[in-house]
Amino acid sequence: MSTVLIEDYALLRVAIQHVLRDAGLGEDLASGELSQLEALRNTSVHPVELLLFGGSTHADHDVTALASVLDVLAPRRVLVLYAEFEAALMAAAVRAGAAGYVSKSLSPAALSAAVRLVLAGGECYPMPTRTAPARRPSAPPDAPTRLTQRQEEILRLMVRGKTMREISREVGTSVATVKSHARTLYWKLNARNQAAAAFTAVNLGLVPGLDDDQDDESSP
């Protein structure tokens, strides 16, 4: 699977590369600055399955640059990373058929979940914000995302990209039981599949300490 990362800031580019490798996308990974687009086209394996495009803080420039990158690389799936939210860039991403528009400030776990969601055919865009001032609720709303200890354990493994069979081995229960828990989690998180559930769970903070888990796994 060929992946291309375009990000002008070297330090951030290295950090994102680390996340992609942890997600199993390091084998055919090409990365560089926007100015290296032609070189990336020549060095990447075609067709490009996934493009991660790092935006700047200049929406007009980013919209034009994104169009150029899509024209040159013709990726199958696109995830746009923004430094500052720009409605114009998000609209351009939507028009171009991009599968997601997420912040560069995402945690490694959240970015990994977003990548998995996009590769699974899902989409991840910012939730629309309300312009009217929100009223403070008199009582806390119902929490459909309240999880049991077993559900949290299974969800943590789902976020890490484990299959149902792998999860069943780790938690010591049958695959059928794991699938039953997974269906309940999909309902609670309003998700269609494992990738969507993982992305929602990470962004809701339902799996605390996940980045620490990933650091432990990547340590020698």
- Is the distance from CB of 60 to CB of 92 less than 8 angstroms? no
User: For the structural domain made of 3-120, what CATH number should be given?
Assistant: 3.40.50.2300
Choose among 93, 96, 99, 94: nearest CA to 121. Answer: 99
Nearest-angstrom CA–CA distance, 155 and 167:
9
3-120 and 149-204, same CATH topology = no
Q: What local confidence, expressed as pLDDT, does residue 131 receive?
A: 38
- Is the distance from CB of 48 to CB of 4 less than 8 angstroms? yes
- Is the distance from CB of 5 to CB of 78 less than 8 angstroms? no
- Enumerate residue ranges in the chain where pLDDT < 70: 127-145, 209-220
Does residue 47 have a cis bond before it (omega within 30 degrees)? yes
- Residue-wise pLDDT tens digits, 129-139: 443 344 433 33
Tokens of 45: 């394996």
Q: Could you tell me which CATH class the domain 149-204 is placed in?
A: mainly alpha
Ramachandran angles phi, psi of 79, nearest 5°: -125, 120
Query: H or E segment at 55?
Result: none
Choose among 22, 220, 39: nearest CA to 30. Answer: 39
At residue 6, what is the residue type? I
- Residue-wise pLDDT tens digits, 174-204: 999 999 899 888 888 888 888 888 888 888 8
Domain boundaries, the chain: 3-120, 149-204
Nearest-angstrom CA–CA distance, 80 and 104:
9
